Amino acid sequence: MLNRLDLDELLEIAARLPGGFENAGVAPLCGDGSDRKFFRISGGSRSLIGLISPRRVEWPSTDENDSYFLIGSHLHSKGLPVPRILHADTAGGRFLLEDAGDLHLQRFALCRPSRLESIYSHVIRMLGSLHRKAPEGFEPRFCFDSAVYDPAFVYERELEYFRKSFVNGCVGLEAGADELRPDFEAIAEEAGVRESSLVFHRDFQSRNIMVHRAGLRLIDFQGMRLGPPAYDLASLLIDPYVKLPNRLQDRLLWAYWSSTGRRFCLSKAEFIRKYDAVRLARNLQILGAFGFLGVTKKKKHFLQYVPFAFEQLGLHLSRMGRGRFPRLTKLVDAIDRQGLGFLAPERGENLVTGSILSVM
């Protein structure tokens, strides 16, 4: 629920900015999975974005609002294409931001299918710039939700998220915590890092990239942390919002390696091993997120993206070797045999029921 007092205070602050926004118009903006509230403040030919984001943890603990301000300011100081933060009240959860427009990369790309490779080549260059410039001066204290993408984080926040929110909550199978543990422990070790001097965005996909004034702008950066840059590449390439063809994914993978990946002192083989691991972790996280948003949060439109994400999961497991993670592979095969009919948006109930024990 939008607090009118928060909005009125932001309008007063906007009116005091250089050039002023007196008697400004206000229009709410649609968000995605977040509970934060965005709106556009317009005055004449000028506009900016208001953000209201109630603080969830008390100071001095680091909250998402703190991370938004600290990381956003850091990235802007490095000349990276993020909206400038014009006003920040992290305690009150009130921000004024430079307006990055309404055109997501998702819509821009889907309207230009013949130009996908050219468009995504520009995105790969922006991603490379982010990975090269952002680590210098980045501090663990910027991060509200753990600073390092370590195996424990991978296990709980991505793999268990998949089990709880997709397998149990969305598909309706009863998967206990121990039933996928051997595979999950192996994936977490391969994908996670114990320490790192590199950083990554952690949600680098087409809904978090804006096309504005003939350039690209990156948003929703507050989840950035220390860890493997290949994770961002995987997020971009298997993004269900655009559904890049597999062959194009492969070409963009090598384009990133040639321009940026080789700079991280990894051999090509090491880079691919890490990419394969984080791609699998990200794929499972995506399915967990769509299960949570579509079922728990009742935002049913997210369920339309599950089939592509599930298809990508099966394909990647096959490429990695079907015996590599046998319990996860058997589970995916079982869901595939049952089909994804439970995703029909007009149905409120899960249609697939039963225990994972029958397929392990």
Query: What is the DSSP secondary-structure string of 2-65?
Result: --HHHHHHHHHHHHHSTT--TT-EEEEE--SS---EEEEEEETTEEEEEEE----S-TTSPPHH
How high does pLDDT run on average in the chain? 91
Give the pLDDT band of residue 25 (cuts 50, 70, 90).
confident
Q: What digits encode the pLDDT tens for the residues 88-140?
A: 999 999 999 999 999 999 999 999 999 999 999 999 999 999 999 999 999 99
Question: Residue 47 and residue 49: Cα distance in Å, rounded?
Answer: 7
Query: What pLDDT does 344 receive?
Result: 59
Q: Please state the pTM of the whole predicted model.
A: 0.93
Give me the residue spans of the domains in the chain.
Answer: 4-10+17-98, 151-191+273-360
Residue 37 contacts residue 96 (beta carbons within 8 Å): no
Answer yes or no: is pLDDT of 350 > 50: no
Give the pLDDT band of residue 356 (cuts 50, 70, 90).
very low
Question: Residue 359 and residue 354: Cα distance in Å, rounded?
Answer: 10
Closest CA to 183 of 159, 157, 161, 165: 159
Query: What pLDDT does 6 receive?
Result: 81
For 4-10+17-98, CATH number out of 3.30.200.20, 2.60.120.260, 3.30.43.10, 3.40.50.11900 equals: 3.30.200.20
Residue 185 contacts residue 155 (beta carbons within 8 Å): yes
Query: What pLDDT does 33 receive?
Result: 64
Q: What digits encode the pLDDT tens for the residues 166-209?
A: 999 999 998 999 999 999 999 999 999 999 999 999 999 999 99
Query: What pLDDT does 354 receive?
Result: 38
Answer yes or no: is pLDDT of 229 > 50: yes
What is the percent of the chain where pLDDT is above 70?
Answer: 94
Q: Taking CA 284 as the corner, what is the angle to CA 241 and CA 321, rounded to the nearest 5 degrees?
A: 110
Q: What burial letters (b/e) apply to 5-19, b meaning 16+ CB within 10 Å?
A: ebbeebbebbeeeee
Beta bridge partners of 173: 354
Range with the poorest average pLDDT among 44-48, 79-83, 187-191, 353-357: 353-357
Query: What pLDDT does 346 receive?
Result: 45
Q: How many CA atoms lie within 13 A of 127 on its CB side?
A: 34
Answer yes or no: is pLDDT of 287 > 50: yes
Answer yes or no: is pLDDT of 41 > 90: yes
Answer yes or no: is pLDDT of 230 > 90: yes
Answer yes or no: is pLDDT of 31 > 80: no
Query: What pLDDT does 100 receive?
Result: 97
Give the pLDDT band of residue 3 (cuts 50, 70, 90).
low
Best-predicted range by mean pLDDT (34-43, 235-244, 315-324): 235-244
Query: What pLDDT does 2 receive?
Result: 54
Answer yes or no: is pLDDT of 43 > 90: no
Question: Residue 53 and residue 38: Cα distance in Å, rounded?
Answer: 9
